[in-house]
Structure 1
Amino acid sequence: MKTEQTTYVVIGGTSGIGAAVAKQLEGENSIVHVASRQTGLDISDEQAVYHYFESIGAFDHLIITAGSSAPGGKVVDVDTTEAKAAFDTKFWGAVNAAKHGARYIKQGGSITLTSGMLSRKVVANTYVKTAMNAALEATTKVLAKELAPIRVNAVSPGLTNTEAYQGMADDARQAMLAGAQQSLPVGKVGEASDLAMAYLLPIQNTYMTGAIIDVDGGALLN
């Protein structure tokens, strides 16, 4: 007897962690829909998100890994317009996806968001990322109550070696990665494949909701 197919939607799935998650989910009994700016979906546009899920129809699991480039610097120095633009994608975009995707999720389905270790690790000059990630983690728990029995969880990555850092000068990027490797308890920098495994847990574990899953190499211990 043929097993019923499971349908996944991965928002932010064309690069980095999202692409690794989509690859993990591929299989004979899986349908994986991948969307991002590269495929023409801007999740900061609520109407676009609404119509995207309308085009997909019923599905089982939603994974949101879409991020944004957040300005660094002291609170008194950061341009507020740039900070709001970062929120529009990572925070409000995730809210848009959860809000409109939830209408189509089948019984037993789940939503997995992506925050980041700066939600709970105090680092100067990172207030925009800190605020976005903390807001996402708090919203994850609210959604877990409001959307039940849909399960809602979040994965909180630490520093991960992905295309997100390609805009940095090569020397600066290598120094950052080397410094992290030395300081992290695990003695290595995370790869997209390391993080992808973490997304499988809240999808497959039907007793898990409202959880924040830290995959940071021990960064929060330092």
Structure 2
Amino acid sequence: MRESIAENGIMGGLKNKRVLVVGGSSGLGLMVSRLARGRGAEVVIASRTASDRHEELAEAVGAGIETVSLDVTSEEDVESGLERVGNIDHMVVATRPPLSPALFVEADLDQARQAFETKFWGQCRLIRQAHGRLAPDGSIVLTSGIAGERIYAGNFAMSVINSATETLCRALAVELAPVRINAVSPGFVAPKPPDVEARARRFPAGRVASAEEVVKAYIHLMESPYVTGTTLVVDGGARLV
């Protein structure tokens, strides 16, 4: 994908903007980093292992990226990491904690608590430290997910975390204005196990999404100066059935 973007010379509203992608070394975060870089952004990738993987990430995303290692569960780590990053125009948070599906009565509550600490409170730490470094016309894009509204047995913890993330988005859009706060809510993103693929075929879109289809939503929210307090749903109509 990086080659095709570069070959086509696509540049959008992110050209020369400084974009921090937390959780940008894998999954959707890596794809956001790649697409933002292809649109001319100065990309900074932050994750626990980003600095150690600098050469690998530069190969995957594009030359000229920066990498910063930080742990979102540590206030000290977040503060020192964002000091190294400096001023930014946009921040994308795409962290996803490891969380095993389990029914509520059987779930490991310590694991659920740690997931909340990582994804929800991690976002809060990042926003508090990044707010003073963001351009007044900049934005923050959070990540929720289909489990925040479409309930599936065994996913109570992620349902709560995603719902809380969407509420946080709306609250901070008011409190932190003029900085814009939005969220992306992905549905099922490939690759998925056969049972999930079968479930997705019952959605109006009839399939799971590709990562490329989902990450366009993050770019859209960064580039849209009149959108704030919004959760952009990319779920193939999963919430309708």
Q: Could you say what secondary structure the match of 2:201 adopts?
A: helix
Question: Which residue of structure 2 aligns with residue 30 of structure 1?
Answer: 41
In 2, the alpha carbon distance for the partners of 1:209 and 1:36 equals: 26
Q: Is the 8 A contact 2:200 2:238 kept in 1?
A: no
Question: Which residue of structure 2 aligns with residue 82 of structure 1?
Answer: 111
Question: Which residue of structure 1 aligns with residue 24 of structure 2?
Answer: 13
**What TM-score comes out, normalization by structure 2 length?**
0.83
1:28–1:71 CA distance, 2 compared to 1 (3 A): closer
In 2, the alpha carbon distance for the partners of 1:112 and 1:129 equals: 18
Question: Which residue of structure 2 aligns with residue 200 of structure 1?
Answer: 219
In 1, the alpha carbon distance for the partners of 2:25 and 2:190 equals: 15
State the shift of 1:27 in Å.
4.1
1:4–1:112 CA distance, 2 compared to 1 (3 A): closer
State the shift of 1:116 in Å.
0.5
What does 1:54-69 align with in structure 2 at a 5 Å threshold?
54-69=83-98
Correspondent of 1:132 among 139, 147, 161: 161
Q: Could you say what secondary structure the match of 1:81 adopts?
A: helix
Q: Could you say what secondary structure the match of 1:10 adopts?
A: strand
Question: Which residue of structure 1 aligns with residue 125 of structure 2?
Answer: 96
Unaligned runs of 5+ in 1: 163-172
1:79–1:205 CA distance, 2 compared to 1 (3 A): same
Q: Is the 8 A contact 1:49 1:97 kept in 2?
A: yes
Q: Deviations over 1:80-131 (max 9, x none)?
A: 1111111111111111111111110012000000000111112222110100
State the shift of 1:193 in Å.
0.8
Q: Is the 8 A contact 2:190 2:211 kept in 1?
A: yes
In 2, the alpha carbon distance for the partners of 1:196 and 1:122 equals: 23
Q: Is the 8 A contact 2:15 2:39 kept in 1?
A: no
Q: Deviations over 1:162-211 (max 9, x none)?
A: 5xxxxxxxxxx531343134222112211111111001111111111000
Correspondent of 2:134 among 95, 101, 105: 105
Q: Is the 8 A contact 1:185 1:219 kept in 2?
A: yes
In 1, the alpha carbon distance for the partners of 2:48 and 2:204 equals: 35
In 1, the alpha carbon distance for the partners of 2:88 and 2:155 equals: 36
Question: Which residue of structure 2 aligns with residue 166 of structure 1?
Answer: none
Unaligned runs of 5+ in 2: 1-13, 51-68
Report percent identity of matched pairs.
33
State the shift of 1:71 in Å.
3.1
In 1, the alpha carbon distance for the partners of 2:15 and 2:161 equals: 37
Q: Could you say what secondary structure the match of 2:158 adopts?
A: helix
Runs of 4+ that moved beyond 6 A: none
Paired residues, what number? Answer: 210
Q: Is the 8 A contact 1:75 1:127 kept in 2?
A: yes
Q: Is the 8 A contact 1:71 1:128 kept in 2?
A: no
Q: Is the 8 A contact 1:141 1:211 kept in 2?
A: yes
For 1:120, the aligned partner's letter is E
Q: Could you say what secondary structure the match of 2:123 adopts?
A: helix
State the shift of 1:29 in Å.
4.0
In 2, the alpha carbon distance for the partners of 1:176 and 1:54 equals: 44
Is 1:70 matched up with 2:86?
no
Q: Is the 8 A contact 1:180 1:189 kept in 2?
A: no
In 1, the alpha carbon distance for the partners of 2:142 and 2:113 equals: 19
What's the C-alpha RMSD, in Å, of the aligned pairs? 1.7
